[in-house]
């Protein structure tokens, strides 16, 4: 059956794209915002309909095929990106057809980048691909949506923390498609309008002008940043009118324009008057980078900064893993700052940057001036450690988010307990649980006598997890102001959900764990209000997927009891590896002599034995068995 094509989408190939410059439409390019990539050229396809149709009339065109056309005096090779037949034929079944007298041509700009080029975003390729697919499907699959009587998705709401990379993700996605893109900042529009006496009229005119520019450049994409400014009801007295103007603009976008809204807050917390807008019904949430994503981000940043110095891939990979482990809660912008600060510190150390040269912008110039002889290694771990003291994570400004460095090998004894905790972490972080329809454990409580290593166990469990971490003591949550303690708890778990996968390590949890007495007159007291808030955050209405709590109310309870004789042997061996022991020290005998000692007490015993050795001889180089016996005599009364 002969199929006549209604529409053919063409794009110059990479090899001949520069030849298309003479026939670009410069007048339409003028409507593009100055932030658009400077080499963007917009095709006026209607101008060339008759030229293309005349040259290809009667020709058979297939999807993916190259078509050679004469444009002016130049020969340009085009790739066939898409073909569409009449509405009577399913587009899914059409991959080729013939050019007829009514066939129309759509042209894509020539500078489309590959995903492997700069359009790719470190750690967020999936979000870039999702957004690019949504825009592409809207413009190229309209007939399919029409046949199915489905309204295509014309808007998308991109949300994420400030500095997480929303703008970079949007630009990378749109660069893959190369549609004319118009950028606007809603915050700047409203603030500029607030400086006049006609805020509502100013905002209305600005949005109307934006729609006109988008219509003139169609098919085009409009990107509006700082939509979260609408949540600030105190920004202007005319906020209700501005809500109305924004809804009117978003709901009346022309059919050949795609709208992208960018916000640092989720659509669910936008004002109710704005949530009614169809533009907020579909969202792409940009999550806090996980350990693997942070590694990718650090690797890309180091790779770009190290272009002018001799650094190998293995060296960059090793450093990326170390930096990623130390940057829990850091977003892409924070990680970039850490890397740049580390480079500056390395250059200062090598006397390549003056002490007064603290401006980050000078980094590129200084690297360019490096001679081949001075080109060296990447910054060392010490440079990054110093940078991390300066650049704090955006997400955990209120809560401590430094992952402990303790490992399971640092804890002696308690082999069965360690196996239980390791198994718990595997279950809590495994994806197989959801595949089996099983809810993974979301929390674990460690309890036992003082000094038995509860905190050490939790630190080792967190240190080897690879998750983000928030550490807080129960006593730090309390405030003298009414309701502030409950508010801190809510902010704590809100930050944890945003940083998922995240471990909330609540030390000294017994300080807020009051016993509920349903018949008590003080059932509404401060302690019980705090406890109720905590229980609601743990297993209430909020989704806690990706958040693991340690030390509170949980479905897993592990007792850290007093160490058994074999546990004491393991603890003493571990402590002995950090000290210099004489050959006469009998670890097994010490374990028998320290019945009733906790892990902390055994550590104290080593300190007392060391002091006893120094009292006997100021130049002592090892700890003897006699020193341990003296230490036991001094510490025995504390264990009674």
Task: State the alpha helices, DSSP H only, in 464-525.
Answer: 474-477, 484-498
- 77: which strand partners? 68
* Among 122, 115, 83, residue whose Cα is nearest residue 100: 83
Residue 21 and residue 41 in contact, taking contact as beta carbons nearer than 8 Å: yes
**Residue 263: alpha-carbon gap to chain centroid:** 15
- How far apart CA 628 and CA 626 sit, in angstroms, is 5
- How far apart CA 192 and CA 209 sit, in angstroms, is 15
pTM: 0.56
CA-to-CA dists, residue 352 to 359, 426, 576, angstroms: 14, 47, 45
E runs forming strands in 269-390: 283-285
Q: What is the largest CA-CA distance in the chain?
A: 106
Q: What is the pLDDT of residue 569?
A: 92
Regions of the chain with pLDDT less than 50? 17-45, 91, 110-120, 352-358, 360-361, 367, 370-376, 518-522, 552-553
- How far apart CA 611 and CA 630 sit, in angstroms, is 10
Q: What is the pLDDT of residue 542?
A: 57
Q: What is the pLDDT of residue 86?
A: 65
Given the structure tokens 């807020």, which residue do they identify?
Answer: 512
Q: What is the pLDDT of residue 223?
A: 92
For the beta sheet containing 283-285, the strands, ordered from the edge strand earlier in sequence to the opposite edge, are 181-185, 220-225, 257-263, 155-159, 283-285
Q: What is the pLDDT of residue 260?
A: 92
Domains along the chain with CATH numbers: 4-107 (3.10.330.10), 125-285 (3.40.50.300), 291-390 (1.10.8), 408-559 (3.40.50.300), 565-639 (1.10.8.60)
Q: What is the pLDDT of residue 88?
A: 57
- How far apart CA 417 and CA 415 sit, in angstroms, is 5
Q: Which helix (H) or strand (E) holds 519?
A: none
| Ramachandran quadrant class, 160 (left: phi over 0; alpha: psi -120 to 50; beta: rest) | left
Q: Which helix (H) or strand (E) holds 582?
A: none
- Cα-based torsion angle of the residue sequence 154, 155, 156, 157 in order, rounded to the nearest 10 degrees: -170
The encoded tokens of residue 316 equal 């960059």
- How far apart CA 68 and CA 63 sit, in angstroms, is 14
Q: What is the pLDDT of residue 272?
A: 72
Task: State the alpha helices, DSSP H only, in 329-448.
Answer: 332-349, 362-368, 381-390, 415-429, 432-435
Q: What is the pLDDT of residues 590-615, one digit of tens each?
A: 999 998 898 888 888 888 888 888 88
Q: Which helix (H) or strand (E) holds 240?
A: helix 239-251
- How far apart CA 462 and CA 459 sit, in angstroms, is 5
Residue 511 DSSP one-character state: G
């Amino acid at each position: 059956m002969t199929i006549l094509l209604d529409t053919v989408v063409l794009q110059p190939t990479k090899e001949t794209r520069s030849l298309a410059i003479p026939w670009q439409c410069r007048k339409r390019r003028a409507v593009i915002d100055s932030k658009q990539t400077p080499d963007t050229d917009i095709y006026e396809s209607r101008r060339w309909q008759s030229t293309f149709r005349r040259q290809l009339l009667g020709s058979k065109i297939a999807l993916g095929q190259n078509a050679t056309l004469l444009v002016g005096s130049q020969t340009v090779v085009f790739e066939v990106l898409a073909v569409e037949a009449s509405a009577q034929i399913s587009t899914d079944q059409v991959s080729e057809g013939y050019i007829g007298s009514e066939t129309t041509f759509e042209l894509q700009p020539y500078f489309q980048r590959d995903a492997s080029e700069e359009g790719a975003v470190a750690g967020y390729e999936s979000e870039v691909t999702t957004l690019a697919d949504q825009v592409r499907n809207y413009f190229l699959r309209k007939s399919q949506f029409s046949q199915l009587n489905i309204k295509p998705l014309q808007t998308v709401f991109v949300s994420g923390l400030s500095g997480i990379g929303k703008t970079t993700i949007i630009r990378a996605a749109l660069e893959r498609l190369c549609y004319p893109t118009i950028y606007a900042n809603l915050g700047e529009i409203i603030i500029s309008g607030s400086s006049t006496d006609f805020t509502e009229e100013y905002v209305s005119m600005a949005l109307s002008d934006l729609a006109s520019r988008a219509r003139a450049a169609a098919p085009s994409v409009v990107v509006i940043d700082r939509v979260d400014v609408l949540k600030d009801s105190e920004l202007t007295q005319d906020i209700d009118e501005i809500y109305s103007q924004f809804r009117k603009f978003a709901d009346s976008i022309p059919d050949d324009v795609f709208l992208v809204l960018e916000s640092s807050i989720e659509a669910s917390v936008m004002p109710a008057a704005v949530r009614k807008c169809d533009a907020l019904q579909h969202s792409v949430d940009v999550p806090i980078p996980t350990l693997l994503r942070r590694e990718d981000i650090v690797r890309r940043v180091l790779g770009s900064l190290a272009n002018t110095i001799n650094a190998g891939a293995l060296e960059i990979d090793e450093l990326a893993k170390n930096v990623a482990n130390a940057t829990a809660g850091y977003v892409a912008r924070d990680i970039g700052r850490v890397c740049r600060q580390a480079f500056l510190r390395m250059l200062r150390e090598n006397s390549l940057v003056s002490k007064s040269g603290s401006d980050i912008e000078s980094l590129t110039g200084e690297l360019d001036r490096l001679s081949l002889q001075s080109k060296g290694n990447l910054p060392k771990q010490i440079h990054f450690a110093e940078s991390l003291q300066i650049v704090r994570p955006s997400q955990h400004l209120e809560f401590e988010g430094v992952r402990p460095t303790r490992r399971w090998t640092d804890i002696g004894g308690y082999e069965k307990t360690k196996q239980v905790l390791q198994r718990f972490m595997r279950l809590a972080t495994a994806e197989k649980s959801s595949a089996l329809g099983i809810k993974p454990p979301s929390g674990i409580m460690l309890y036992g006598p003082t000094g038995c290593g509860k905190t050490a166990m939790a630190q080792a469990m967190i240190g080897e997890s690879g998750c983000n971490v928030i550490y807080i003591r129960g006593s730090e949550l309390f405030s003298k102001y009414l309701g502030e303690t409950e508010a801190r708890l809510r902010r704590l778990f809100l930050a944890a959900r945003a940083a998922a996968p995240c471990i909330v390590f609540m030390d000294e949890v017994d300080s807020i764990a009051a016993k509920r007495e349903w018949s008590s007159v003080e059932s509404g007291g401060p302690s019980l209000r705090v406890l109720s808030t905590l229980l609601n955050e743990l297993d209430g209405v909020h989704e806690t997927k990706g958040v693991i709590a340690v030390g509170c109310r949980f479905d897993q309870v592990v007792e850290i009891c007093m160490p058994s004789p074999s546990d004491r042997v393991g603890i003493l061996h571990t402590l002995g590896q950090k000290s210099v022991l004489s050959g006469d020290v009998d670890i097994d005998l010490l374990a028998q002599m320290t019945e009733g000692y906790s892990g902390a007490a055994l550590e104290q015993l080593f300190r007392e034995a060391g002091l006893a050795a120094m009292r006997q001889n100021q130049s002592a180089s090892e700890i003897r068995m006699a020193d341990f016996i003296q230490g036991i005599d001094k510490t025995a009364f504390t264990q009674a």
